[in-house]
Structure 1
Amino acid sequence: MTRAIFSDAPYPIRADLDQATRKAWEFIGRPGNWWTGAERAAFVAEVRSARDCRLCADRRDALSPYAIQGEHEVASDLPAVAIDATHRLTTDAARLSERAVREWNAAGLTDEAYVEIVSIVSTVMGIDAFCDALEIPLLPLPEVRAGKPTRYRPAEAVDDGAWVPMIPNNGEGGNEADLYDRLPASRRFVPNVIRAMSLVPDAVRNLLDLLFPFYLVGHNPKSGYSLDRRQTELVAGRVSALNECFY
Structure 2
Amino acid sequence: MFDFAQSPVPVREDLKNTYQRIWNHFAEPGPVLDAAQRSTLLASVRAGAVATTNVIPPALGRLASTLYTDPAAVSESTVRNAAEETGDAAAAETVGLVALLSAVDGAHRALGVDLVALPEPLPGPATGNIATGLKRRRTHLPMPPDAIPGAIDLVPEVAAVYRDSFGPQYMTEQDMALSDFERSPGLNRAQIELVSSRTSLINECFY
TM-score normalised by length of structure 2: 0.84
- What corresponds to 2:168 in structure 1? 213
Q: What SS is found at the alignment partner of 2:19?
A: helix
Residue in structure 1 matched with residue 116 of structure 2 by the alignment: 139
Aligned to 1:94: 72
Q: CA deviation at 1:228?
A: 4.1
Distance 1:162 1:243, change over 3 A: closer
State how far apart, in whole Å, the 2-side matches of 1:114 and 1:233 are: 29
Tell me if the contact between 2:30 and 2:158 (Cα under 8 Å) persists in the aligned partners: no
**Residue correspondence of structure 1 range 1-247 to structure 2 within 5 A:** 5-10=2-7, 11-50=9-48, 72=50, 74=51, 78-106=56-84, 108-166=85-143, 168-169=144-145, 190-191=146-147, 193-216=148-171, 217-218=175-176, 219=179, 220-225=181-186, 227-247=187-207
Q: Deviations over 1:15-52 (max 9, x none)?
A: 111101000111011000000111112222122122xx
Contact 1:31-1:147 at 8 Å conserved across structures = yes
Indicate the larger mover: 82-91 or 20-29. Answer: 82-91
Q: How many residues align?
A: 199
Any unmatched runs of 5+ in structure 1? Answer: 54-71, 170-189
Deviation for aligned residue 1:230 = 4.2
Alpha-carbon distance in structure 1 between the residues aligned to 2:14 and 2:53: 32
Q: Secondary structure at the match of 1:42?
A: helix
SS for the counterpart of 2:131 is coil
Q: CA deviation at 1:7?
A: 4.8
Q: Once superposed, what is the RMSD of the aligned Cα atoms? A: 2.3
Aligned-pair identity (%):
30
d(CA) in 1 for partners of 2:113, 2:53:
25
Distance 1:75 1:132 in 2: 26
Distance 2:135 2:44 in 1: 30
Q: Deviations over 1:53-92 (max 9, x none)?
A: 5xxxxxxxxxxxxxxxxxx5x5966332221111122233
Q: CA deviation at 1:238?
A: 2.6
Scaled by the length of structure 1, the TM-score of the pair is 0.72
CA offsets 1:120-158 (integer angstroms, 9 cap, x no match): 100000000000011111010123111110122222323
- Range moving further from structure 2, 151-160 or 123-132: 151-160
SS state at 1:23 partner: helix
Distance in 1 between residues matched to 2:133 and 2:17, nearest whole Å: 31
Task: Provide the rounded CA distance (Å) in 2 between the counterparts of 1:75 and 1:15.
Answer: 37
Instruction: Supply the AA of the counterpart residue of 1:240.
Output: S
Q: After the TM superposition, list the runs of 4 or more consecutive aligned residues in structure 1 that deviate by more than 6 angstroms.
A: none
1:229 deviation in Å? Answer: 4.1
The one-letter code matched in structure 2 to 1:34 is: V
In 2: Cα distance, 1:246 partner to 1:165 partner: 19
Q: Structure 1 pair 76/23, CA: closer, same or farther in 2 (3 Å)?
A: farther
Q: In 2, distance between residues paired with 1:32 and 1:76?
A: 18
Distance change in 2, residues 1:239/1:76 (3 Å): same
Structure 2 distance, partners of 1:202, 1:156, is 16
- Asked whether the equivalents of residues 88 and 96 of structure 1 are also in contact (C-alpha less than 8 Å), the reply is yes
The AA in structure 1 aligned to 2:86 is L
**Which structure has the greater CA radius of gyration?**
1
Partner secondary structure for residue 210 of structure 1: helix
Question: Quick one: structure 1 residues 76 and 135, their matched pair in 2 at CA, closer, same or farther if it must change by over 3 Å?
Answer: farther
Contact 2:35–2:123 (8 Å) recurs in 1: yes
